[in-house]
């Protein structure tokens, strides 16, 4: 019976995933076919619309894979000391626009002297926005959303109730005055593709994504709800002993500083399309680009006398060496070499939950070319 229930859950997961991806791929494939047809016909006035449609579908597909990886706790996180109060203040206007005028957003209640926490700020922003959207959907006739933070000391009993080690935590809670959740719904709330929303109005991955991300960050999520009274979802994240950092916006590629004379980047990836795109960006910015398809080929370049200012490498590589091994071997001969790992999957033994050596950084696939160009310039400039 347990095996049957497990297979049924797997079937529901893969069925929901296939449904959503087929919709998104239809948008990408159809737009590209129309783009090709219009180019052959010489009709160029609608090309921009087809490109934007394909880009939009691809971005939604990327968001879906990130949610799946977050649920499985295998997404690549870039944890930074984060001031959650500052992050919330930066998102307050976005939250108000997203939930709409029918929903009152209670002035954010933030604790004074809130501790920082070590977390991926981009993923925390996504989690907060998802919670606010869920709260909005639970109040079809309007209502109020309250966002609250606080410092929490969890003793043995409180920590056991939340399934975390005892200690100091930062809480981020989003509450609504909506319909509330029945106990049986709360039990399934974190299951992938489980949703109480109508078909086409949600993938059912929002809460499962939040759960996976928070657990991967060393914290916990709890739901407190009563039918007809509303719901409160609280994230508990471990305290970080240090100062919080501000969230920096990513500039556009055309605004990124150009390379200085002779600066060279080695690009290692077994996917030809990725190598081509990265090399194109590098050449646009004025860098010399050298390509390698696996670890041994990259080491031949790194062990030569050629100038290399930055190593950009995938984590998962063929040829018997992963990206971390290539970087470590390269630093034997080039101890000051800067490294940018690009990956779509967090291999814990390789990336050590974000605890990388000095001068090593991570960029998650899929990434925008603007983000790539800005990160490369920032790393080389030091």
Average pLDDT estimate for 18-41? 76
Q: What percent of the chain has pLDDT over 70?
A: 76
Q: 16 or 225: whose pLDDT is higher?
A: 225
- Is the pLDDT at 170 greater than 90? The verdict is yes
pLDDT in tens, 230-265: 999 999 999 988 665 554 554 555 555 566 778 899
Q: What is the mean pLDDT of residues 158-181?
A: 89
State the pLDDT at residue 315: 83
Cα distance between residue 264 and residue 373, in whole Å:
14
3-state helix, strand, coil in the chain (%, to 5): 45, 20, 35
Predicted local distance difference test score (pLDDT) of residue 192: 61
Task: Report the pLDDT averaged over residues 3-16.
Answer: 61
Q: What is the pLDDT of residues 135-162, one digit of tens each?
A: 998 898 889 999 999 998 989 888 888 8
Residue 87 confidence (pLDDT) above 80: yes
Higher pLDDT, 185 or 250: 185
Please tell me the distance from the alpha carbon of residue 316 to that of residue 350, in angstroms, as a whole number.
Answer: 9
Residues 6+ apart with CB under 8 A from 107: none
* Percentage with pLDDT > 90 across the chain: 21
Which of 118-127, 136-145, 323-332 comes out lowest in average pLDDT?
118-127
Contact status, residue 295 vs residue 268, Cβ threshold 8 Å: yes
Distance CA 340, CA 249 (A): 19
Please provide the DSSP assignment of 168-203 as one string. EEEEEEEEE-S----HHHHHHTTSTT--SSPTTS--
Instruction: Kindly report, residue by residue over 346-366, the tens digit of the pLDDT.
Output: 544 455 444 567 888 888 777
The more confidently predicted of residues 85 and 16 is 85
Kindly give the interhelix angle for 295-302 and 323-333, rounded to the nearest 10 degrees.
20
Confidence band for 285, pLDDT divided at 50, 70 and 90 = confident
pTM of the model as a whole: 0.52
For the ranges 3-12, 304-313, 367-376, which has the lowest average pLDDT? 3-12
What's the pLDDT band for 189 if we cut at 50, 70, 90?
A: confident
Average pLDDT of the residues of the chain:
79
Q: Is the pLDDT of residue 375 over 70?
A: yes
């Amino acid at each position: 019976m347990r095996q049957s229930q497990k297979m049924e859950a797997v079937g529901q997961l893969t069925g929901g995933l296939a449904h959503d991806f087929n919709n998104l791929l239809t948008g990408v494939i159809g737009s590209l076919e129309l783009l090709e047809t219009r180019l052959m016909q010489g009709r160029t006035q609608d090309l921009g619309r087809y490109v934007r449609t394909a880009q939009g579908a691809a971005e939604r597909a990327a968001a879906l894979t990130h949610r799946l990886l977050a649920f499985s706790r295998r997404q690549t996180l870039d944890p930074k000391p984060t001031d959650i109060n500052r992050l919330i203040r930066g998102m307050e206007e976005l939250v108000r626009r997203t939930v709409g005028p029918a929903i009152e957003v209670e002035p954010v209640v933030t604790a004074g002297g809130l501790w920082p926490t070590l977390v991926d700020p981009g993923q925390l922003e996504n989690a907060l926005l998802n919670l606010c959207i869920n709260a909005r959907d639970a109040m079809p006739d309007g209502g109020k959303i309250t966002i609250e933070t606080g410092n929490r000391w969890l003793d043995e009993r409180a920590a056991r109730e939340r399934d975390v080690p005892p200690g100091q935590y930062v809480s981020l809670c989003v509450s609504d005055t909506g319909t509330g959740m029945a106990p049986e719904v709360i039990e399934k709330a974190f299951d992938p593709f489980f949703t109480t929303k109508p078909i086409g109005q949600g993938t059912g991955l929002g809460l499962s994504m939040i759960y996976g991300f928070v657990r991967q960050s060393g914290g916990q999520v709890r739901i407190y709800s009563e039918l007809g009274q509303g719901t409160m979802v609280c994230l508990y994240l471990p305290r970080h002993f240090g100062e919080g950092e501000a969230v920096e916006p990513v500039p556009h590629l055309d605004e990124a500083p150009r390379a200085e004379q002779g600066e060279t980047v080695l690009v290692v990836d077994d996917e030809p399309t990725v190598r081509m795109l990265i090399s194109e960006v590098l050449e646009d910015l004025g860098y010399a680009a050298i390509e390698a398809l696996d670890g041994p080929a990259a080491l031949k370049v790194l062990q030569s006398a050629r100038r290399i200012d930055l190593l950009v490498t995938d984590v998962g590589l063929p040829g018997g060496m992963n990206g971390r091994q290539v970087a470590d071997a390269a630093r034997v001969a080039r101890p000051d070499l800067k490294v940018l790992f690009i990956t779509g999957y967090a291999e814990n033994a390789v990336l050590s939950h974000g605890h990388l050596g000095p001068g090593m950084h991570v960029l998650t696939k899929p990434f925008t070319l603007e983000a790539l160009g800005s990160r490369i310039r920032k790393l080389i400039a030091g």
